[in-house]
Structure 1
Amino acid sequence: MTSNSRVSRRLVLQAGAASTILGAPGLLLAQPKAVKIGLVHPVSGALAYSGSQSRFGAQFAIDEINAAGGIKSMGGAKLEAALGDSQSRPEVGVAEVERLHQEGVSAYVGCFSSAIALPATQAAAKYNTPFMIDVGVSDAIVSRGLKNVFRLAPGNGKCVDDAFAGLSDVNKAAGGPAKTAVIVHEDSEFGTSTAKLLAGKLSGIGLEVKEVLKHATPTRDFSNLVLRIKSLKPDLVIISNYQNEYVLLARTLYQQKAEVAGIFSVLGGGFNYRLVKEQPEVAQYMMDFNHWYNPKNAKAQAMRKAVEAKGNLFTFEVYCSYNSVKCYADALERAKTDERAAAIAALEASTWFPEVMPYGPTKFVNGQNTGGRAVLLQATKTDIGVVWPNEFAEAKPVFPRPKVS
């Protein structure tokens, strides 16, 4: 082969390679760097069920955003979940925040538990990293002046106020059968702070607090506590605790045939479809004021079907975490970068509308979304429905509850 033929062959090969590359222009362009979101949830330990539901909801939103083309203003950058497990312990939550920082996360979503969220958000504040609180209702989370912390859902202060407005309306409509109450709460930040708010405001709707009873998390036996409740003969039992203890206490009240006008909770950790599915007799007529989806919204109904098609239950943890990721993604679209200060500024100016929830447009004031609201729910043997306020209600409340046979 002559020198000229070798040169000609090389030119032909180079031209062919160039043609191939030009025919696939994506090969010439660097793919945008993924935006890492640290998911800090308790997927082991006492809070594992709720933490796993939270993680599921966040991943559901990430997958949906990526399938729709990623963050378009950032060249289609995909979101990537960096998984953390707080093991239901505050100190581990802090350690996971630090570890995920080393992995280069641009934001955090978590923590389900207020007791974990308080130190975890403080750790993230050192790096000015946005932290979206999906579930964690203590108002101390957003009252410390941390500029990196944002919460879409209402905290326990607003929830207690709104819950008592709903309970008062229900009680008055029934002729006022409830006049006394016993409060039962778990002993961490969530239960303690909520119980304090409850006890301070029940008199405002004409209810006398007979006693406030505290229990540890975890608790394996509520027999003695329920005997104490029965001896006090309250009209209402108002509970504030997490999944396992919530269900166990409700079951013990049912088994011991505690005769009360109602079992009511504010932000009840175990009031969900799992309770209705597994223990329908226990769940029937129980009432809870909590985060919930908008039952009259078509997208919310479609999302519930999609979640259930994956073999999961549509609990509040799922859509609270889903919305937290969606809100952050909206901020990225407007900021056109995941640079922390710019993303925080975009979140502060957010007007994003979480249509699957009974919310108005987002407006953060000191990190708290003032457009968020919870609703009053009641369980039947087969489902859970909104009973207050009227604009979202699917049914009328049954109150007082029929006597346990």
Structure 2
Amino acid sequence: MKRTTSITRRGATDVLAGVLALFLTGPAFSQTKEVKVGVLLPLTGGTATIGNQTKVGAEIAAELINAAGGIKSMGGAKLTLVFADTQSKPDVGVAETERLIQRENVALIVGAYNSAVTFPATEVAERYKTPWLVSGAVKDEITERGFKYIFRPNNKATYDAREQLDAIDQLKAETGKGPKTIGLFYEGTDWGRSHAANIKKLIKDRGYRITLDESYPPNQTDFSAQLLKIRATKPEALIVVAYTPDHILFTRQFHESRLYMPYGIHSVGGGSEDPSFYKAVPAGAVKYMFVQDDFQVDIMRAAKDPTAISADSKFRAAMGYGLNSYGAQGVSNMYIVKDALERAGSADKEKLREALAKTDITSGPALITGYRRIQFDGEGQNTFAHGVISQNLNGERRTVWPAENRLADVKPTWPLPDPSGR
């Protein structure tokens, strides 16, 4: 009798354990509760202001996504952002990529703004078969190496260069006036050299002549020698490629030199998209400046999308100014991640890579940057990426190219008035 009782009790215990195990491993407990997303950005160093703007945009988007129920196909899994600081240095970026993948076990990585960092760091991600969503970096070759895990929603350098020249062509066609000579002045890392090479390649059939082709090492303390070369070569328009600290110093010194450029300075993003740049230079120094911009900065005037309005409000509260190119990229990046996770239904890297490769976004917050569509080609480049060209008019950057993006009250100034009255 005792033996029978013992067997019965043991059986009951086994059944109870089995039921408990089934409960703990069933659907309610098998769902991933979080998805770790590595975000690699320059949070210190020469491009820290830009990296921190992207960081805030990404944080805002993750907060909005999580508050709206997280990743619904994964049972409401929340996005957990794991930030890493590149210090604006390639070797640090590579080491931090390794750490995010090996130690933090992130599902994918977003980053890293600087082309000189993103280029080697994405090679590490490719080796570890970890999906990478490029944020900001434009070096053409980032998506021209046959990699399968690297995806770029934003422009590559060729697109930026083409847009600057298209804007000059359009303004020339509208007014019958335009430059015959163009100067190139650019920082000497991957980004600047890539942009200059593309301008030189694209300019051949447009009737312009390059009179200045000048690179400089980053973190300059004085641009006097370069300004003398600009004065001597007399370009009628000047294309500038510079990160924030160098752009601030160059713009101040250019303004003090009283050089007249009849068809203006045409800056390709970088420092000229950074609000801290405008706080650090005299208003007169940026008057009429043209900026190739990855975000239509004046479009928020007419914004109706509730997510965009909310993101702009939160960004303004955090930063003291409205959503800009880098903040918008941070927001967009996270909504692209959300879209891929929803379709993958998993944080598995292979499934996530497959989902990113099949991305086709035609509406929603991922397009807050102004893209009409996000769809990656076989090399991971969004061929629908584009920017706009703004001109600083009456203290505001207003979109002047393409013409269909101009708001009704915008009239470009072309050519620029000579401050000496000549």
Q: How does the TM-score come out when normalised to structure 1? A: 0.89
The match for 1:45 is 45
The match for 2:414 is 399
Structure 1 alignment gaps of length 5 or more: 1-27
The match for 2:155 is 154
Q: Mean Cα displacement is larger for which, 380-389 or 337-346?
A: 380-389
The match for 2:292 is 289
Which among 323, 335, 347 is matched to residue 338 of structure 1? Answer: 347
Distance 1:306 1:128 in 2: 34
- Contact 1:276/1:382, CA 8 A, preserved across alignment: no
Distance 1:304 1:204 in 2: 41
C-alpha distance after superposition, 1:326-369 (max 9, x if no partner): 10110100111010111111111111233323222211002001
The match for 2:4 is none
Matched, 1:263 2:265: yes
Distance 1:312 1:51 in 2: 16
The match for 1:186 is 187
Matched, 1:33 2:33: yes
- Contact 2:60/2:311, CA 8 A, preserved across alignment: no
Distance 2:279 2:44 in 1: 23
The match for 1:375 is 388
- Contact 1:273/1:384, CA 8 A, preserved across alignment: no
- Contact 1:239/1:268, CA 8 A, preserved across alignment: no
The match for 2:314 is 306
Classify the secondary structure of the residue corresponding to 1:368.
coil
Classify the secondary structure of the residue corresponding to 2:273.
coil
Distance 2:273 2:211 in 1: 24
Number of matched pairs: 378
Q: Map 1:111-150 to 2 at 5 A.
A: 111-150=112-151
Which among 339, 355, 363 is matched to residue 367 of structure 2? Answer: 355
Percent identity among equivalent residues?
31
Partner amino acid, structure 2, of 1:344: R
- Contact 1:37/1:105, CA 8 A, preserved across alignment: yes
- Contact 2:42/2:52, CA 8 A, preserved across alignment: yes
**Cα distance change, pair 305–170 in 1 and its aligned pair in 2 (3 A):** farther
C-alpha distance after superposition, 1:81-104 (max 9, x if no partner): 111011111010010011111211
Report deviation, 1:69. Answer: 1.1
Report deviation, 1:50. Answer: 1.1
Q: How does the TM-score come out when normalised to structure 2? A: 0.85
Distance 2:266 2:328 in 1: 23
Q: Map 1:94-113 to 2 at 5 A.
A: 94-101=94-101, 102-113=103-114
- Contact 2:112/2:136, CA 8 A, preserved across alignment: yes
Partner amino acid, structure 2, of 1:309: A
Report deviation, 1:302. Answer: 5.2
**What is the root-mean-square deviation in Å for CA atoms of aligned residues?**
1.8
The match for 1:223 is 224
Report deviation, 1:33. Answer: 2.6
Report deviation, 1:400. Answer: 1.5
Distance 1:302 1:339 in 2: 31
- Contact 2:56/2:315, CA 8 A, preserved across alignment: no
C-alpha distance after superposition, 1:359-399 (max 9, x if no partner): 22211002001121111111135321111112211222111
Distance 1:196 1:303 in 2: 36
Q: Mean Cα displacement is larger for which, 282-291 or 111-120?
A: 282-291
Classify the secondary structure of the residue corresponding to 1:385.
strand
Classify the secondary structure of the residue corresponding to 1:351.
coil
- Contact 2:183/2:238, CA 8 A, preserved across alignment: yes
Report deviation, 1:221. Answer: 1.0
Report deviation, 1:29. Answer: 4.7
Distance 1:301 1:206 in 2: 43
Distance 2:400 2:87 in 1: 35
Q: Mean Cα displacement is larger for which, 301-310 or 111-120?
A: 301-310
**Cα distance change, pair 383–274 in 1 and its aligned pair in 2 (3 A):** farther
Classify the secondary structure of the residue corresponding to 2:367.
coil
The match for 2:330 is 321
**Cα distance change, pair 357–47 in 1 and its aligned pair in 2 (3 A):** closer
- Contact 2:37/2:108, CA 8 A, preserved across alignment: yes
Partner amino acid, structure 2, of 1:124: A
**Cα distance change, pair 270–345 in 1 and its aligned pair in 2 (3 A):** same
